[in-house]
Amino acid sequence: MAGLPGSIPGAMPAGEDETQRRLRDLERKVEELGPSVARSFKPVLDALIVPESRQDTQGVFTLNTTQATISTVAFSVPVGYTKAAFVYTATCNGVNHSSSAASITVWPSWSSGSSSTLYGGPSGPVGAVSTRVVTSYSIADSITGLVPGNSLSFTTDAFASSSTFGSDTGVTVCVLVLWMR
């Protein structure tokens, strides 16, 4: 009964050399197919995800005890894209000119159309008198429902625990957006 369709002996290869030949043929086909498939999918992937980045650096502003916008980084949502993944880092610093310790709080947010999210940012370390205080906050998140052509803005607000941070302040904001369909 060896060799009858549906029987176990019929499913077995003719010999050990047959298995090795089939394996070599399969490996050759994969090697030949790999580069051609990779080249053909690159334009597809490039059309699905488009990276874009911006940086903003501001200096010489006064930090008050009231929350205020110190930086805005804006993007235009590309045609055909309705989603975005992003990494947003804001770093604010200033010299404490008071007679007591003070800190800086950073509140980053994004908005597009009628949608927005405010991330309650951290207070930085408390800086002693005449020391530079640095607060940094990073976010990785995603957004859906974007409207092509609308603006997507990343806003950094900050405030101080005391009004002693004068004109020796600064902020650096870096945003990387991956636009997706």
At 140-171, the pLDDT tens digits run 999 999 999 999 999 999 988 876 777 788 89
**Domain range enclosing 34:** 15-47
Residues 39, 61: one domain?
no
pTM of the model as a whole = 0.71
Q: In the structure encoding, which two tokens stand for residue 167, read together?
A: 């004109």
- Domain assignment present for 91: yes
Residues 43, 88: one domain?
no
Whole-number Å distance between alpha carbons of 107 and 154:
11
List C-alpha distances in Å: 12 to 7, 22, 91: 9, 13, 66
- Domain assignment present for 156: yes
Residues 164, 125: one domain?
yes
Residues 88, 41: one domain?
no
Residues 37, 81: one domain?
no
Q: What percent of the chain shows pLDDT beyond 90?
A: 35
pLDDT of residue 4: 60
Residues 26, 67: one domain?
no
